[in-house]
Chain A
Amino acid sequence: MGTALAFAPIPGPVLTASGCSAFGQELEPFVDLDALGAVVTKSVQLQPRSGRPTPRMAETPSGMLNSIGLQGPGIDGLLADELPWLAQRGARALVSIAGTRVEHFAELATRLRGVPGVLGLEVNISCPNVESRGEVFACDPVAAADVVAAVREAADPAHPVFAKLSPDVTDIVSIARSVTAAGADGLSMINTLLGLVIDPDTMRPVLGGVTGGLSGPAIRPVALRCVWQVHQALPEVPVLGMGGIRTGLDALQFVLAGASAVSVGTAVFNDPSAPARVHAELADALAARGFASLRDAVGYAHR
C-alpha cells in the first residue's frame, strides 16, 4: 500500500495526526513507528509554549473537545530532541508548523530545511493572525495563501508542503483553490471544528479556553464531505484525509472520496495501536474489494 504525500513517497497510507500523538515517542510501545506513513508532529512554533490552563478537554458523543493551546517545546526543542529521536528509529516526520504571523511560518520552514528525518511540512493555518485582529488564517483565502506561499518559498524543495484546512468556513473549495494556487503541494483535511460544552452544575463552559476543537468520529461525515468537495473540484491535488478515522473502513471512505493517505488522530487516545490496526484493516478492505493498489481506489466513489 505504498503511496505518497505529493512527491514524497511513503511506505504506507496511514499517518498519525497532529496534536494526537505528541512527537511519536509515547506510541513506541504500541506501534512500529517506521512502518507508519509518517509521524505527524504536534504543531511547533518558534518559542516554547506552556499551553492553556486546565480544564483542557471534555468528552462529547463519539468525540471530544480540546483546548490545549499548542503546548510544546518550540522549534529549538524539536530540532534538539524530538526529530533526532524519530530519525534514529527510521521514522519519517511530517512536521506541523504554526505561527501568528506569516514570517513565523517562513522562519520555521527555513529552520527545518535539510533536517534528517523530516519528510515534509503540514502548515497549521488554524491559528489567529495577529496582523488581522486575530482572524484565523484558514478562514481567509488571501491570508491562508500568504502563509502557504511564504512557506513554500522558504521550505526545503524536497519537502512537500501540505496546508491543513479548517472546516469552519463557508466554502472550503475556495480556500483549497487559493492555497494550491499559492504553492501548496497537498491539502490536509480537516482540522477540528470549533465547539463548546457547558457544565450544567457550574453553569459555565467546561474548558479553560471556553471554546475548543471538536474531534473524533462525530466529525467524520463533515470531514468526508470536505474531502469529497475538494477532490471533485481539484482532482489532481493530493489530499491527506483525517477527521474521526477509527477503523480501516473509515479510512477506506476517505480514500474513496479522494484521499491518497489518511491520518488517525483522536482514535489513538482510545486505542494507542490504532494507526497500525487501521493500516491492516484498510489493506484487507482494499483487497476484499478487488483493488490491486491503493492508487486505484483514490476518488473511486466519484465515478
Chain B
Amino acid sequence: MTAPADRQSHAFGELLTEPAPAAVQAPVQRVVEVVGRRPVGAYVELTFAAPETAGRAVPGQFVAFAIGGRESAMLLRRSIAIAGTGDGRLTVVVAPHGPGSTWLAGLQPGATVDVVGPLGRPFPLPEPGTPALLVGGGYGAAALVGLAGALRERGSDVSAVAGAASADRLCSVDELSALAGVTVLTDDGSAGRRGWVTDAVAEQVGRVGVVYACGPMGMLRAVAELATAAGVPSYVAVEESMACGIGVCMTCVLPVVGADGRTRFSRSCTEGPVFGGDRVRFADVGTLTADVVGAAAMGVLPA
C-alpha cells in the first residue's frame, strides 16, 4: 500500500476543482403521470407531468422512482438522471437491465409512479463564456442536455462527445447537436467514428476551460484523468447504485477528497452525483485505504 502521506501530497496536492455546492431547493415527493414514452435505441425515454419536480430541477440532478407500487417486492428506489425539463414536464432515459428498470421502462402513458426529486448536487457552472467539453457515455449523455443549454445561455462555446458500445446505445445525440458540436464514437463503428470517447477527449481537451462527464465509472475515470493531466477542471456525474437517493441508506459511497484535502466515503446521492473529477479516488473505489477518515476505527491502520 502507498504511504497515505505520499498519496495525499502527490496525487491530491493541487486540485483543480472545488466540491460541487448543494442545490438550493429541497426535493419533493409526488405521484406523477406518464405523458410520453418513446423507445430510443436500446433505451426508453419517459416524460412525466411533474411541474413541481421539474420546476426545481437544475442540470446534474436526478430523480428516484419507486418501483411497482405500494405492494411491490422491489423496495429500493431507482435513481435516474434528469434528461430534460420544460413546460412542467420531466424527462428521463431509462436503460432496462434488471427487473426494476425494466418495469419502469414498460410504463405507458396514463400510468402513474411515485417520484422523489430533484435530488443531488448540480453541475457547477464556470465563469461565463468559458469553453466547455461535455462527454457522455451511453445513456449518461442524457444528463448533459440541460447542462449544454445552461452553458450556451451563459455564452460558453460547447462541444460534446457521445460514445457507446454500438449505435443503439447512443443517447441524446439529436438534443445535444442542437446545442453543441457533437463528436460521436462507437466501439464497433456502427455510428460515428470507431473508438472510445477518450480518443476525442484527448484531441479536444486542450481547447476548453472545463470538462463535464456522465457515464460508466471507467469512462469517468479516463476522462477525468485526461482533463486533470491537461490542467483542466472536470466535473463527473457518477452512476453509483443507490437504495434511497436521499442520503439515509449510506450504500452509494465513494472515496472522495473533500475541501479540507481529506478523503471520506461520500454519498453519491447527497454529496454527489456531481464530484470534481480530480476528487474522486477512482482507483480506490471498492476498497478501504488507511487515509479515509474513520478507517482506523474499522481496524485499518496506516501503513
Q: How far is the CA of A58 from the CA of B295 in the complex (A)?
A: 23
Query: Judging by beta carbons under 8 Å apart, are B243 and A57 in contact?
Result: yes
Known: A26-B248, A51-B294, A59-B76. A272 touches B253 (CB 8 A): no
Tell which of A62-70, A82-90, A117-125 binds the partner: A62-70
Q: Give the number of chain A interface residues (Cβ < 8 Å).
A: 46
Does B265 touch A at the CB level, under 8 Å?
A: yes
Q: How far is the CA of A21 from the CA of B295 in the complex (A)?
A: 22
Does A268 touch B at the CB level, under 8 Å?
A: yes
Does B26 touch A at the CB level, under 8 Å?
A: yes
In the complex, which residues of chain B have a beta carbon less than 8 angstroms from the beta carbon of A208?
Answer: 286
Query: Judging by beta carbons under 8 Å apart, are A47 and B243 in contact?
Result: no
For residue B257, give the distance in angstroms from its CB to the closest CB of chain A: 14
Task: Find the residue from B27, B240, B253, B264 having the highest chain A CB count within 10 A.
Answer: B253
Does A54 touch B at the CB level, under 8 Å?
A: yes
In the complex, which residues of chain A have a beta carbon less than 8 angstroms from the beta carbon of B26?
Answer: 28-29
Does A269 touch B at the CB level, under 8 Å?
A: yes
Known: A45-B297, A71-B265. A56 touches B73 (CB 8 A): no
Does B229 touch A at the CB level, under 8 Å?
A: no
In the complex, which residues of chain A have a beta carbon less than 8 angstroms from the beta carbon of B75?
Answer: 59, 62-64, 216-217, 266-267, 269-270
> Can you name the residue of chain A whose Cβ is closest to the Cβ of B73?
A62
In the complex, which residues of chain A have a beta carbon less than 8 angstroms from the beta carbon of B250?
Answer: 19, 22, 42, 51, 56, 68, 71
For residue B44, give the distance in angstroms from its CB to the closest CB of chain A: 21
Does A174 touch B at the CB level, under 8 Å?
A: no
Q: Which of A42, A49, A62, A68 interacts with B251 by CB under 8 Å?
A: A68
Q: How far is the CA of A48 from the CA of B66 in the complex (A)?
A: 32
Query: Judging by beta carbons under 8 Å apart, are B116 and A52 in contact?
Result: no
Task: Find the residue from A50, A54, A269 having the highest chain B CB count within 10 A.
Answer: A50
Does B301 touch A at the CB level, under 8 Å?
A: no
In the complex, which residues of chain A have a beta carbon less than 8 angstroms from the beta carbon of B72?
Answer: 270
> Can you name the residue of chain B whose Cβ is closest to the Cβ of A208?
B286
Known: A50-B288, A51-B298. A268 touches B76 (CB 8 A): no
Annotate B231-273 by CB proximity to A: 1 below 8 A, 0 otherwise: 0000000001101101111111110000000001100001000
For residue A209, give the distance in angstroms from its CB to the closest CB of chain B: 11
For residue A20, give the distance in angstroms from its CB to the closest CB of chain B: 6
> Can you name the residue of chain A whose Cβ is closest to the Cβ of B264?
A50
Does B230 touch A at the CB level, under 8 Å?
A: no
In the complex, which residues of chain B have a beta carbon less than 8 angstroms from the beta carbon of A271?
Answer: 29, 66, 114
Query: Judging by beta carbons under 8 Å apart, are B286 and A22 in contact?
Result: no
Query: Judging by beta carbons under 8 Å apart, are B294 and A66 in contact?
Result: no
For residue A105, give the distance in angstroms from its CB to the closest CB of chain B: 15
Query: Judging by beta carbons under 8 Å apart, are A50 and B77 in contact?
Result: no
Annotate B264-303 by CB proximity to A: 1 below 8 A, 0 otherwise: 1100001000000000000001111000111111101000
Query: Judging by beta carbons under 8 Å apart, are A272 and B76 in contact?
Result: no
Query: Judging by beta carbons under 8 Å apart, are A51 and B248 in contact?
Result: no
Q: How far is the CA of A266 from the CA of B244 in the complex (A)?
A: 9
Does A27 touch B at the CB level, under 8 Å?
A: yes
Does B28 touch A at the CB level, under 8 Å?
A: yes
Q: How far is the CA of A57 from the CA of B268 in the complex (A)?
A: 14
Query: Judging by beta carbons under 8 Å apart, are A270 and B295 in contact?
Result: no
Does B11 touch A at the CB level, under 8 Å?
A: no
> Can you name the residue of chain A whose Cβ is closest to the Cβ of B295?
A50
Does B111 touch A at the CB level, under 8 Å?
A: no
For residue B276, give the distance in angstroms from its CB to the closest CB of chain A: 20
Known: A20-B249, A29-B27, A271-B66. A49 touches B298 (CB 8 A): yes
Does A7 touch B at the CB level, under 8 Å?
A: no
For residue A43, give the distance in angstroms from its CB to the closest CB of chain B: 12
In the complex, which residues of chain B have a beta carbon less than 8 angstroms from the beta carbon of A50?
Answer: 264-265, 288, 292-295, 297-298, 300
Known: A50-B292, A56-B250, A66-B249. A272 touches B116 (CB 8 A): yes
Does A3 touch B at the CB level, under 8 Å?
A: no
For residue B114, give the distance in angstroms from its CB to the closest CB of chain A: 7
Query: Judging by beta carbons under 8 Å apart, are B251 and A48 in contact?
Result: no
What residues of chain A have their CB less than 8 Å away from a CB belonging to chain B? Answer: 19-22, 26-30, 42, 45, 47-57, 59, 61-64, 66, 68-69, 71-72, 74, 208, 216-217, 246-247, 266-273
List 11 A–B pairs whose Cβ atoms lie within 8 Å, in order of A's numbering: A20-B248, A21-B248, A22-B247, A22-B250, A50-B293, A52-B288, A54-B252, A57-B241, A69-B298, A268-B248, A272-B29
Q: A48-B297, A269-B77, A269-B248 are in contact. List 11 more A-B contacts (CB 8 A).
A: A21-B248, A22-B247, A42-B250, A50-B264, A52-B288, A57-B249, A68-B251, A74-B297, A246-B70, A272-B116, A272-B246
Cβ-closest 6 pairs across A and B: A50-B294, A57-B251, A269-B244, A26-B247, A48-B294, A47-B297
What residues of chain B have their CB less than 8 Å away from a CB belonging to chain A? Answer: 26-29, 66, 70, 72-77, 100, 114, 116, 240-241, 243-244, 246-254, 264-265, 270, 285-288, 292-298, 300
